[in-house]
Amino acid sequence: MEAVGDTLEELWISYNLIEKLKGIHVMKKLKILYMSNNLVKDWAEFVRLADLPLLEDLVFVGNPLEEKYSADQQSSWVEEATKRVTRLKKLDGEL
């Protein structure tokens, strides 16, 4: 990821069985991240996305963390996620 970290603005990595986001911080220009239907299950991994200074559009639906909150109520997921990654303008196609 370091090789493209200074230039990549959009990354589509859905359906890849990704559990961890270690190393994502090198993507300093990333604005759009589509990573639906992976295996991210805890907030400790999710908050790594806050290290991306330009991230504004995230698709995270279908990850165990999102499914846990969405099962209760959708507003709960959006509220909790945007508390942790405050720059998001779009989350799972909404906001």
Each residue's pLDDT tens digit, 38-47:
999 999 999 9
Q: Is the pLDDT of residue 2 over 80?
A: no
Cβ neighbours of residue 91 closer than 8 Å, sequence gap 6 or more: 58, 59, 60, 78, 81, 82
Question: Which CATH number does the domain 10-91 belong to among 3.80.10.10, 3.40.109.10, 3.20.20.80, 3.30.70.100?
Answer: 3.80.10.10
Q: How big is the chain, counted in residues?
A: 95
Distance separating alpha carbons of residues 37 and 33, to the nearest angstrom: 13
Each residue's pLDDT tens digit, 16-45:
999 999 999 999 999 999 999 999 999 999
Each residue's pLDDT tens digit, 73-95:
656 899 999 999 999 999 999 87
Structural domain boundaries in the chain? 10-91
